[in-house]
Structure 1
Amino acid sequence: MSDRHFELPAHPNLDYYRKRAKHLRHAYAAGDTAAEARVADVLGARERFLLSDAQFVLAQEHGFRSWAEFRAHVESRAEDRPVSRLTGVRPGIYASMAGTLLAELRRGDPGALRRLRAYVPRHATATSAATAELRDARLIIARELGFPTWRELVSFTEKSRLDLGERREERRRLHREAEALLAGDADRLAALTAGQAGTLLHMLACPETIPGVRLGKALGVPRAAVEVLLGKATDLTLPLTWAARSGRVEFVRLLLDAGADPGVRTWGGTPLENAVHHGNTEVVDLLAARGIVPGALWTYAACGRLDLVRACFDADGGLRPDAARARPDLADTGAGFPSRLPPTDDPAEIVGEAFVHACQHGRIEVVRWFLDHGVHPDVAPYLGRTGLHWAIPGGHPHVVRLLLERGADPSIRDDLLRTDAGGWLNMIFTARPHDPVARRLHELIGSG
């Protein structure tokens, strides 16, 4: 999948939108039903539809009061399109999300108002969401998913579902080739096309994509057969990203040795971001050895690079501006979380993000450094999850002990699952309650 949205250039300029307005006017005049629906959504029924009207529709679709405001916005910045993370979700799901959000806006939910102000320019200074409309809620959902308008979100969603169906059919057709991969049949694999080799590598990157096989940190198939596929495939970006998010340590190592670029963003982030968000510390270490991308306070902390963490602060202890050039969002990499509320520029929030990811990956020296410099052990920059919540899934008793010693409260419940530290422990280790790590964590949290 491309890392750009299908119908937008990487850096659209005003001429692009002028042409889109002209196209809308001509389509409306020709009786195009989609164009008529767009116009009706903003202007209602129209006997005359001028170019200025088309420009106004585009501005409104992007959340602006007027074409003049929209034009000024486009001319003031080059808009780089973020990566989509859609995987075949029906448009109706997003419509339902927009309806729920509209209800939250109408009842004055503070978080919903914060989202409205962040993503709908004409409401940027609003103190109340009472006048918000359905199209505003839709625009918020689209912007949180990386799309400039609702229309483009729906269009891309429909295409992504078709693409997903095609990929599933391709995997079904490659059933025998998958068997050849498992058996190490290099001769059969050598006859594949570059596209087929890439599909098999993508399948190998996921724990259960190959029928009847559960893959883990080990490669799980004959290395020589994988090397045949690596020699034929032309794009290793997607396999690397999925291997990183799946914790396929040895496969990540092979992909990197074969020349896969760890700095490419796809499916919501770089391979490193995917590995960090999914808690795959061994993969994080592998990727960090090749370069930390993106370079920011939270990634340095997740990688355990205390030297780089320190370098994010000036001599007076202030946070340097480039420390926050990238911000984490678990929804970007499909870790099963909703989009966070729009992040603020508050240095305490930025530091808190780095702190919890250091806890997540067991980087005790970084955690201790933050605590020594005034970070509260119960800081919860998003999802209401404290350092304890983050440290438990990875099985980091040394971090849990340190947090408790510094006053962390194990009774705090997160915002999403409404579960305290003990509940998280039971949930994560329910299938292996006698695990030595689980026992140690129980002892620590119980005494805490």
Structure 2
Amino acid sequence: MSDGPAFTLDTCKNAARRLRKAHAAGDPEAHARVAAHVAAGKMLRHADFLHVIACEEGHDSWPKLKFVVESAAMSRAEKAERLKVALYQGQHWMTDRLLAEDPTLKDDNLGLQVALYDLEAVRTAVGSDPGAAVRPVGLRSPILHLAFSKEIHRSPEKEADMMAIAGLLVANGADVNDGYPFQPGDKDLLPALYGALCHADNFTLGRWLLEKGADPNDRESLYHATELDHPQALELLLSHGARPDGTNALPRALDFEDEVKVRMLLEAGADPNITVPDQPGGLPLNTIPALHQAVRRGRPAGIVALLLKFGADAGAVWQGHTPYALARIYGNKAAADRLEEKGHASALSESEAILAACADGTARPGSLDPASLVPAALTCEDRGLLSELAALPGRLDHLKALVEAGLDPDAVDGMGLPPLHIAGWHGLVPELSYFLSLAPDLSRKNHYGGDALDTVVHGSEFAPARTDSDHVACARLLLEAGSVLQPHYVTHCGNPDMAAFLEDWQEQSGQS
């Protein structure tokens, strides 16, 4: 094929169909073409034949070929908007492609020039109009376009230009504490420091912002620094006066298996017994004492011992449970054993005993029917237990026992996510398959606006990478069960494997 007038997605798809048919017929040339681009022994799907066509046309994947063809029909304004998104999300191959196709695209607005570290262009623009240094380009001011850009990971050699732009903007009035609303109308703003240090993982720019007066207690950065796969950002914030007390940074750090960050926060003064006031709309994690958070997140005995060393109250009651009872309810045997060893075991109530039996795998643990228990025996935490456990691999038997005992498998968490959505977002196939067997409403929307399939597609790009996750398999199960594949699920998907699968499904179902 050529990229002349006849080169369209339809011609590529037709070529993939012909290749698939020839391969099935045993044609040697077709087998050789497939073998050149697909691993030997792989069970071939239509997506693999699309992949071959893409590779033969000089692209790494079908989604990349698809984008090239689709971008040819975009207006210049649409391409500039797509470039802005690519810089924000760190989709470097897309940035490469758009700029290779039209290097002048970066000059469509100052926000793009800033995000691409084009020092000369920014210097010229600000030199002729100093007000441009603070004038918003879309939702964000220039310094926010700089802070939220992930270009540093595509062009690390431009670090000096990036820093020169930062200095130029501030010298002309830019505020290092500037922020923007994630959604129009939001009162809380996402600050530049959070953008640089946590969103873009741009340590150099984050450190510079702090040195220039960025507030380390901006209600975002300390919390999100605990989510990074290294402790440097957290250490930097603490060294510049970030105060853990009164924030949810410690409970958030306990969401991860990272004793280093937990210790850093405790040594910086985080009180494991202080909770932040509840917020409307659900039960956020920042209302929970650290020891309770540790045991429900499956943290090991070492972290439990660390929290006790720093004064965590093992007798505190949260949502009706002591830390020991909560460890039993969640099946965190190591934590429960350590608490018992230290003399902190507590007697279990009737409902706690039933929940603990579900975790332990005890046959016929009892009924959680409110009619058979004392009034209000099940707390908000108890009723949301399925949602919490649906994010964890290997807890299928525990989930089944809880449902059999009477917990509602359609109960949602504070963000409107039922267990089906949570298991799907994490790509957990056995868990999603189980909740599917309970005949849930597949069109149900969570508070993010996504149904079950949309949530899986989003998770394929943004959920933490785990060896036991398979988002494509989850998507297949949902589609086979009747989920509707909306066109924008495909066009907005940034995961090449998922995008190829969805394209394949469209092709086979006649939706393309």
User: Aligning the two structures, in what range does the TM-score lie when normalised by the shorter sequence?
Assistant: 0.3 to 0.5
Answer with 1 or 2: which has the greater Rg: 2
Which TM-score applies when normalising by structure 2?
Answer: 0.33
Which TM-score applies when normalising by structure 1?
Answer: 0.36
